[in-house]
């Protein structure tokens, strides 16, 4: 970003949600995006969890990378402004196959919804771990990959 701005060459990011990518302090700033910034998405996620599921104490389960870090900042900021209590913040690696320990901590902290930030494959591990635990807490994510499986009986 510093080189792009120094050279005054516009850069259009098609999938760059991290808030600091475009809100980088440069003036003029030549870095643009077509996706929503995390802070806007974070506000929408918390509002949705409250409105749709009545969440009063969501837990955050975030991929441990810059995208997860950006969302952690945004979610904490929105929660503070709106006086939403966050049950806890747990992180996991993209190659983790068992996130039951992280989910157990969130469950024990009283999380009544989960805000999940991850791409499909690592997010699927979170959903599988939640199912193994028998925990039916609702999950809200900025991506539409994660849906509670419908049982075969309900499909028929």
Q: Which residues contact 128 (CB under 8 A, 6 or more apart)?
A: none
Q: What is the pLDDT of residue 89?
A: 98
User: What's the rounded Cα separation, in Å, for the pair 132 and 76?
Assistant: 28
pTM of the predicted model, to two decimals? 0.77
Q: Decide the pairing of beta strands 88-92 and 114-117.
A: unpaired
Q: What is the pLDDT of residue 142?
A: 86
User: What's the rounded Cα separation, in Å, for the pair 75 and 42?
Assistant: 5
Higher pLDDT, 103 or 144: 103
Q: What is the pLDDT of residue 17?
A: 64
Burial of residue 96, with CB atoms counted within 10 A of its CB: 0-12 exposed, 13-18 middle, 19 or more buried = middle
Nearest residue to 111 (alpha-carbon basis) of 98, 126, 122, 124: 126
The two tokens of residue 86 are 């966050």
- Give phi and psi for 118, each to the nearest 5: -175, 160
The domains found in the chain, sorted by start residue, are 2-33 (no CATH), 38-140 (3.40.50.2300)
pLDDT in tens, 6-45: 999 998 887 766 777 888 899 999 988 777 778 888 999 9
For residues 109 and 87, is the Cβ–Cβ distance under 8 A? yes
């Amino acid at each position: 970003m510093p080189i792009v701005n120094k050279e005054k060459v516009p850069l259009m990011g098609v999938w760059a949600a991290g808030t600091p990518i475009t809100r980088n302090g440069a003036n003029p700033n030549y870095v643009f995006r077509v996706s929503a910034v995390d802070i806007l998405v974070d506000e929408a996620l918390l509002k949705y969890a409250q409105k749709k599921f009545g969440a009063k104490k969501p837990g955050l389960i975030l991929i441990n990378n810059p995208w997860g870090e950006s969302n952690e900042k945004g979610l904490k900021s929105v929660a503070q402004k709106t006086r939403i209590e966050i049950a806890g913040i747990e992180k996991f690696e993209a190659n983790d196959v068992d996130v039951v320990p992280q989910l157990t901590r969130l469950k024990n902290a009283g999380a009544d919804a989960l805000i999940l930030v991850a791409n499909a494959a690592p997010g699927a591990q979170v959903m599988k771990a939640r199912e193994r635990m028998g925990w039916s807490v609702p999950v809200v994510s900025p991506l539409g990959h994660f849906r509670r499986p419908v049982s075969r009986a309900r499909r028929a």
